[in-house]
Structure 1
Amino acid sequence: MKKIIFALIITTLISANSFAQEKMIWHTDINEALEIAVKENKKVMLFFTGSDWCGWCIKLQNEVFKTSDFEKWSNDLVLVELDFPRRTPQDETIKAQNRQIQAMFKVRGYPSVYFVNPEKMPDGKMNLNSLGKTGYVRGGASKWLEVADNIVKKTI
């Protein structure tokens, strides 16, 4: 009987953890993310990172993006990770896409976080109206979210 109860508790914990992880989705395909944002009338957060070598990127991930405060705050955004790893293999299509977007936004340093409001044009092309950018902000999640919130709440 104890084994059954233990198994149920473990299964419940695993299920709850899986559910929590599924709530916050980081897209890697920019076109898919933009389509979702337009369809759901959401703004987009573009996170330019060097996930396996950039210390400030890892610090931003741990101090802000992996917190429940960020998870709640980001519900009205579509999140896009544009990664530039040095050791981790990456699909060539994603690599080319990320380089193209990096050039478009003239990103020179990491981490860089841009907020855009996508607009689908009558010809089918996507216009990205820039709201602003930030990077690592000292002070943890609350300070970073304060800066980001001021950017996201801007009107075009």
Structure 2
Amino acid sequence: MNALLVFMLSLFASVQLMAGEGWMTDIDEAVKKAKELDKAVMVEFTGSDWCPPCKMMEKEVFSKPEFVEEASKKYVLVKIDIPNSNPELKAQNSKVMKKYKVKGVPTVILFDQEGEEFNRFTASQFKTVETFLENLEHQLKRKDMF
């Protein structure tokens, strides 16, 4: 009985960290996972219900199974949403935006396994799965040059 309870609690906790299939919602937890898995971290800051470029990126790139599958090979994916429809989540994640000095959305920040930022960019620069994945690969190669 205790084993079942522990399993159910851990399952619930892992669901709480996800923002859609393949996405987490906690940067610190993602960095821990990245360290365990020898991956980098990609954090997308979005305004899912009010930001037109964010909505476009979600529809055209971030929600695509091929993006999540391919990007997850080298990155732990994190989504930090600032939705107008959820004031509590918006307030919580606005603090995260401030902590990482994010001035607007859609912004992507890339972190190494130690939680050190190595790049940031406006997500909507790369409007297709292919171009976004190419940029992620380019940024990883560039990071390893220094």
> TM-score normalised to the size of structure 2?
0.72
Amino acid at match of 1:140: T
Amino acid at match of 2:128: G
Structure whose CA Rg is larger: 1
Find the aligned partners of 2:116 and 2:81 in 1 and give their Cα distance.
Answer: 22
What per-residue deviation string (whole Å, max 9, x for no partner) do you get for residues 68-91 of structure 1? 331232122111111111113545
Find the aligned partners of 2:75 and 2:126 in 1 and give their Cα distance.
Answer: 22
CA change 1:104–1:40 in 2 (3 A) is: same
SS at match of 1:118: coil
Amino acid at match of 2:94: R
CA change 1:79–1:95 in 2 (3 A) is: farther
Match of 2:138 in 1: 150
Structure 2: runs of 5 or more not aligned? 1-19
Within the candidate set 55, 64, 68, 1:67 is matched to: 64
The answer to whether the aligner puts 1:29 opposite 2:54 as a matched pair is no
Given that 2:110 and 2:120 are in contact with CA atoms closer than 8 Å, whether structure 1 keeps it comes out as yes
Structure 1: runs of 5 or more not aligned? 1-22, 120-127
SS at match of 1:35: helix
CA change 1:139–1:58 in 2 (3 A) is: closer
Match of 1:110 in 2: 105
SS at match of 1:51: coil
SS at match of 2:124: coil
Match of 1:133 in 2: 120
Please identify runs of 4+ aligned residues in structure 1 that moved more than 3 A: none
- Could you tell me how far 1:146 is from its partner in structure 2? 1.8
Amino acid at match of 1:79: L
